[in-house]
């Protein structure tokens, strides 16, 4: 059974009080992710990929269609607070902007405390402390350099690593990674990408990797979905997509990406 199944998802935004206008942000989107699979959702800004993520994360109600996590509909089958908690333990996210992922009022430890609380663990016990330190070491951070610091004292890369440490604590079955490296310096990006790969290998975590960067999608994914104007216009393995794109949009996109090992004609 796939960990995530999205069936005919549609989201229409309405605006205006008297003259109503409708914007179709997501149109009839269907796909699924198997356990331990990395699937990339590739599209430019405004293509509907972040709206799709927000629906899967249960922040936004779809106009129609369904999202199944582990076979359960996230809108119909979640009724109690316990159901919701169970869902939150299964699906987690890493967002684009490492700076607005932290509330500047609190030390960065808070993101790990929150994770422990979600697991019904008291964050102040010795056991919790060693869990946190272990998670930090796994993502290549030195606990004593991180704990107790405020967000502005860490670099963007460190903040993003800390977000992945949070995922190590929760061990979700599915991570929605929404452009997780687009604001990180190119030379440090690879380290974060490797951490996602490690999660997949060691914990069999599935990842929905949302990006505008075809190179990254090609490198990291088992399957690529191309999204354009709210629709998934093409899907396939990375090599299929790169070597024989079918949709006009994909062809144009792939033809425009600067390549490293070949020079354009």
Partner 1 sequence: MNRPVLQIENARAYYIVENNYVRAIDDISIVIREGEVVGIVGESGSGKTTLSNVMLMNIKRPLSLIDGKVKLYSNGNVIELNKLSREELQKNIWGKETSIIPQSAMNALMPTKKIKDSILDVMKTHFEEIHEKEIIEKVQARFEEVGISKDVIFRYPFELSGGMKQRAVIAIATLLNPRFLIADEPTSALDVSTQKMVLKTIQDLREKEIVKSIAFITHDIATVRQIAETLVVMYAGKIVEISSIEDIIKEPLHPYTRGLLFSVVTPEPEVKKRGIYYIPGTPPNLMYPPPGCRFHPRCEYKLDICDKEEPKLKDVNGRKVACFLY
Partner 2 sequence: MWLAMFKPLFKSKKFLISILIFIFIVLLGLVGPILYPVDPTSYAGPFERPPSREFPLGTDTYGGDLLAKVLNGTKTSLYIGFLTAVISMSIGIIIGPISAIKGGVVDEILMSFTNIVLTIPNILLAILIATYLKVRSAEVIAFLLGALGWPWFARAVRSQLLSLINREYVKLSRMAGYNDLRLAFEDLIPGIATYAFMSFILFINGGILGEAGLSLIGLGPTKGVSLGLVLQWAVLMEAVRRGIWWWFVPPGVIIVALTSSLLMITTAMDEVFNPRLREK
Q: Which parts of this chain interact with partner 1 (CB under 8 A)? A: 44, 155, 157, 185-194, 213-219, 238-239, 242, 252-264
Indicate whether 183 belongs to the interface with partner 2 (CB under 8 A).
no
Q: Which of 22, 75, 106, 219 forms a contact with partner 2 (CB under 8 A)?
A: 106
| In the complex, minimum distance from the CB of residue 241 to partner 1, in angstroms, rounded to a whole number | 8
Report the residue number, 128 or 211, with the smaller CB distance to partner 1.
211
Report the residue number, 130 or 243, with the smaller CB distance to partner 1.
243
Give the contact letters, 111-130, x = binds to partner 2 (CB under 8 A), - = no.
x--xx-xx------------
- Selection from partner 1, partner 2, none that 168 binds (CB < 5 to 8 A by kind) is none
The encoded tokens of residue 93 equal: 């996210």
Q: Which of 8, 64, 103, 237 forms a contact with partner 2 (CB under 8 A)?
A: 103
**19: which residues sit within 8 A by CB, 6+ positions away?**
none
CA–CA separation, 6 vs 9, rounded Å?
7
Give the contact letters, 129-158, x = binds to partner 2 (CB under 8 A), - = no.
------------------------------
Q: What angle do CA 228, 198, 50 make, to 5 degrees?
A: 25
- Selection from partner 2, partner 1, none that 190 binds (CB < 5 to 8 A by kind) is partner 1
Q: Which of 11, 43, 95, 241 forms a contact with partner 2 (CB under 8 A)?
A: 95
Contacts with partner 2: how many residues (CB under 8 A)?
23
* Residues of this chain that bind partner 2 (CB under 8 A): 17, 57, 59, 81, 84-85, 88, 92-93, 95-97, 100-103, 105-106, 111, 114-115, 117-118
């Amino acid at each position: 059974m796939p960990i995530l199944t999205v069936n005919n998802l549609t989201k229409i935004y309405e605006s205006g009080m008297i003259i109503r206008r409708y914007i179709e942000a997501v149109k009839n989107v269907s796909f699924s992710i198997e356990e331990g699979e990395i699937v990339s959702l590739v599209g430019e800004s405004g293509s509907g990929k972040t709206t799709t993520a927000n629906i899967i994360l249960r922040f936004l109600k779809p106009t129609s269609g369904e999202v199944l996590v582990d076979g359960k509909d996230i809108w119909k089958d979640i009724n109690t607070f316990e159901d919701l908690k169970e869902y939150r333990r299964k699906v987690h996210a890493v967002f684009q902007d490492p700076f607005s992922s932290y509330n500047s009022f609190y030390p960065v430890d808070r993101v790990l405390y929150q994770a422990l609380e979600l697991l019904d663990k008291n964050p102040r016990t010795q056991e919790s402390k060693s869990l946190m330190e272990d998670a930090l070491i796994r993502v290549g951070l030195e606990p004593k350099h991180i704990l107790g610091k405020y967000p502005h004292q860490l670099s963007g890369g460190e903040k993003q690593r800390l977000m992945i440490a949070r995922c190590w604590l929760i061990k979700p079955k599915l991570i929605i990674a929404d452009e997780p490296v687009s604001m990180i310096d190119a030379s440090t990006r690879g380290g974060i990408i490797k951490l996602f790969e490690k999660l997949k290998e060691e914990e069999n975590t599935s990842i929905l990797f949302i990006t505008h960067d075809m190179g990254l999608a090609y490198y990291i994914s088992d399957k690529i979905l191309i999204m354009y104007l709210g629709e998934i216009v093409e899907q396939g393995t990375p090599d299929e997509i790169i070597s024989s794109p079918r949709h006009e949009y994909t062809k144009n996109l792939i033809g425009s990406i600067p390549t490293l090992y070949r020079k354009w004609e």
